[in-house]
Amino acid sequence: MIDYSSVLSKTVQAIKPSGIRKFFDIANEMEDVISLSIGEPDFKTPWEIRKKAIQTLEKGRTWYSANSGMMDLRVAICNYLSRRFRLEYHPETEVLVTVGGSEAIDMGIRVLISAGDEVLIPEPCFVCYAPIVTVSGGIPVSIPTKAKNGFRLTAAELKEKITNKTKLLILPFPNNPTGAVMRRSHLEALTGVLRETNIMVLSDEIYAELTYNGSHVSIAELPGMRERTVVVNGFSKTYAMTGWRLGYAAGPAPVIKQMTKLHQFAIMCAPTTSQYAAIEAMENCDDDVRKMAEQYDERRRLIVDSLNKMGLTCFEPEGAFYVFPSIQKTGLSSEQFCTRLLQEQHVAVVPGNAFGESGEGFVRISYAASLENIMTALKRIQVFLDSLQ
Amino acid sequence: MEKMIKLLQQNARLSNEQLGAMLGCTAAEAAAQIADLEKRGIIKGYKPIIDYDKLDGEIVTALIELKVTPKKGLGFEEIAKRIMEYDEVDSVYLMSGGYDLSVTVKGKTFKDIALFVAHRLATLDSVISTATHFVLSCYKDTGVILCDDVKDERGQNWL
């Protein structure tokens, strides 16, 4: 008998698995469960994008692409970044097309982190950063953000955690799970701290197009930041293309060069069919993006208004497709709240502490769901809250 | 106004409070907008969308193409208005192309409709010819899919 615990990597085994898998197994067993827990658009990929992919499949264009992605796509990405966020990148040397934003995050962290480097991660946040830092030999250092600041990262919070080992800051805004966004002034406050240092920034902007009450600002656009920032973005959320697994990184040529090297060995290239589809998305689908964003915005307003009226106070999320209400006044823990809501009213939402300790006392509710489902779920949540009285 | 109409087309049963929240105004302002749309005759009514296949007791729908002789000075209006008076008639459209009026009729049986066409429509003075097409199955009606239960097919990927 092989003792697998001695065979498997100690580092990997030490990574804590997601504690809420069990919770979703319960949800899967239920017939009439409404899930407001899912982190992907409920829309289908716009038809024109799918059609483009079908056409290239019919023509048999199914070979590997260049390692860093098809040149036409890299040009489209650069045009897009310039048009939407005033970011200027060179398609030959400063862009890498990846398997989802996830791979761009993975490669970005791996090429920047050496053993013992500290990586600052604002929490609550998407769960992938810390494990990747750990397997890269780095040390994840979380920075809890606060509801009273709208879950934004403040300059003071950042400054407090910087040591001489700090190598990288992860900047995940618009934020999953809180829906927080960093406006220009908030980013400027951070750059005041960062410009004094050699700290790099990995700016995960996958939800950039889902910014409400104004437009997204990338930190890379601010003076002195382009040279120290890797921008990560992708097609999943913007164009409802999660299953196509396509994202990208844009940044200084020396960083992209190392990322491309690793990507070449690990992945070879991102899926070619998806790349063709992505060109169509970037060149011809602004209207679809706008329409989807408008619908998210309507649902967002409805859900925030309804939750606040029920007494589940939530600050106004201005990005992504999540609201992050406080459930503290129910006296339940996040996990108790979610388990009971699921078992008693068949509505699935995610406990806030799944996104870091600082998420305890909150739950994440996704409004990437149909209006009908949202309305029914809100009624059920009301019934659940009444039953707690 | 346009946004209000879009929302009501999605779901006419949203409360004024909900509509207000979604549009960024008060419930009272939402109510006033709707009242205005009704007063101006832009919103004509609110009706449920029925899947007749699931209803006990059969209902038959037919689309009837009519060729008619337009009346001097009145065009197609007189005959269209005459036809719309019948309770059996759901809709009347003036069409471009191969025929003039498209009439949707609902009845209990195929025979009911056939008789209605023969006795009530074909006999009208200006009607030259009729062609009756029965609806066999309805897949989608007023933007709502009827043929399948709309299911959330996404996996439970909560990330």
DSSP one-letter string for A124-163: S--TTHHHHHHHTT-EEEEEE--GGGTTPPPHHHHHHH--
Cβ A232 vs Cβ A104: under 8 Å: yes
Alpha helix locations (H) across A152-285? 155-161, 184-194, 253-266, 272-284
Is A294 in the same domain as A322? yes
Residues A199, A216 share a domain: yes
Contact A42 B159 (CB under 8 A): no
* Domain definitions of chain B by residue range: 2-39, 52-141
Cβ contact, residue pair A38, B157, below 8 Å: yes
Query: In whole angstroms, what is the distance from residue A177 CA to residue A38 CA?
Result: 11
Cα–Cα dist B59/B148, whole Å: 19
Residue B26: band (very low, low, confident or very high) from pLDDT cuts 50, 70, 90? very high
Question: What pLDDT score was predicted for residue B70?
Answer: 85
State which of A284, A307, A334 marks the end of a domain. Answer: A284
The reply to whether A280 and A305 lie within a common domain is: no
Using a 10 angstrom Cβ sphere, with 0-12 exposed, 13-18 middle and 19 or more buried, the burial of residue A389 is: exposed
Q: How does strand A166-171 pair with strand B89-94?
A: unpaired
Q: Are residues A91 and A160 in the same domain?
A: yes
- At residue A19, does pLDDT exceed 70? no
Residues 76-95 (B) with a CB less than 8 A from some CB of A: none
Place of tokens 């697994």: A245
Write out the residue range of the structural domain in which residue A179 sits: 47-284
**Where does a domain end: A284, A319, A348?**
A284
Query: Do A256 and A300 share a domain, yes or no?
Result: no
Chain B residues lying within 8 Å of A105, measured CB to CB: none
| Residues A220 and A296 both lie in one domain | no
**What number is the average pLDDT over the span A281-301?**
96
Question: Between chain A and chain B, how many beta carbons pairs sit less than 8 Å apart?
Answer: 55
- Ranking A225-234, A277-286, A309-318 by mean pLDDT, the lowest is A309-318
The alpha carbon of residue B22 is apart from the nearest alpha carbon of chain A, in Å, by: 5
- Chain B closest-CA separation from residue A4 CA (Å): 28
- What percent of chain A is modeled with pLDDT above 70? 99
Mean pLDDT, chain A, whole residue set: 95
Last residue within a domain, chosen from A267, A284, A301: A284
Over residues A97-121, mean pLDDT: 98
Specify the length of chain B in residues: 159
pLDDT at residue B150 above 80? no
Burial A279-293 (b: 16+ CB within 10 A, else e): bbbbeebeebbeebe
Interface pTM (ipTM) of the complex? 0.77
Q: Which of A31, A290, A305, A373 to mutate to test the interface with B (most CBs of B within 10 A)?
A: A305
Nearest Cα to Cα of residue A112 among A9, A267, A249: A249
Closest CA to A232 of A123, A128, A116, A158: A128
Q: Which positions 4-43 of B are in contact with A (Cβ < 8 Å)?
A: 7, 10-11, 14, 17-18, 21-24
Nearest Cα neighbor of A125 from A99, A98, A151 is A151
Q: Are residues A227 and A324 in the same domain?
A: no
pLDDT of residue B159: 61
What is the per-residue pLDDT for A245?
97
pLDDT by residue (tens digit) across A138-189? Answer: 999 999 999 999 999 999 999 999 999 999 999 999 999 999 999 999 999 9
**Residue B5 to residues A293, B13, B14, B32, Cα–Cα distance (Å):** 18, 12, 12, 13
Within this chain, do residues A192 and A217 fall inside the same structural domain, yes or no? yes
Q: What is the pLDDT of residues A56-94, one digit of tens each?
A: 999 999 999 999 999 999 999 999 999 999 999 999 999
Contacts of A40 in chain B (CB under 8 A): 154, 157
CATH of the domain at A350: 3.90.1150.10
pLDDT of residue B112: 93
pLDDT (0 to 100) of residue A135: 96
Nearest residue on chain A to B153, judged by CA atoms?
Answer: A42
Q: What is the pLDDT of residue A261?
A: 98
A71 and A165 inside one domain: yes
A349 pLDDT tier (thresholds 50, 70, 90): very high
In this predicted structure, the answer to whether residue B154 has a pLDDT above a threshold of 90 is: no
Question: In terms of CA atoms, which chain B residue is nearest residue A27?
Answer: B156
Q: How confident is the model at residue A24 (pLDDT cuts 50, 70, 90)?
A: confident
Q: Give me the CATH number covering residue A234.
A: 3.40.640.10
Q: In chain B, which residue's Cα lies nearest the Cα of A375?
A: B14
Task: Inspect the interface and report whether the beta carbons of B21 and A301 lie closer than 8 Å.
Answer: yes
pLDDT at A221: 97
CA angle A299/A305/A307 to nearest 5° reads 100
Q: Cβ separation of A39 and B7 shorter than 8 Å?
A: no
**Min distance A103 CA to chain B CA atoms (Å):** 15
Residue B158 has what pLDDT? 67
Question: Which tokens is B118 given?
Answer: 């023969």
Among the ranges given (A122-126, A312-316, A335-339, B101-105), the one the predictor scored with the smallest mean pLDDT: A312-316
pLDDT for the residue numbered B53: 80
Q: Are A359 and A334 in contact (CB under 8 A)?
A: yes
Q: How confident is the model at residue A229 (pLDDT cuts 50, 70, 90)?
A: very high
CATH number assigned to the domain covering B52-141: 3.30.70.920
Contact list in B for residue A39 (CB cut-off 8 A) is 157-159
Same domain, A251 and A326: no
Domains identified in chain A, total number:
2
Q: Does B157 touch chain A (CB under 8 A)?
A: yes
Q: What is the pLDDT of residue B148?
A: 78
pLDDT at B107: 92
Q: Tell me how many degrees the CA angle B9-B14-B20 measures, rounded to the nearest 5.
A: 100
Q: How far is B129 from chain A (nearest CA, A)?
A: 41
A112/A254 same-domain check: yes
If asked whether residues A304 and A260 sit together in one domain, one would say: no
Express each pLDDT in B65-97 by its tens digit: 999 998 888 789 999 999 999 999 999 999 999
pLDDT tier at A257, thresholds 50, 70, 90: very high
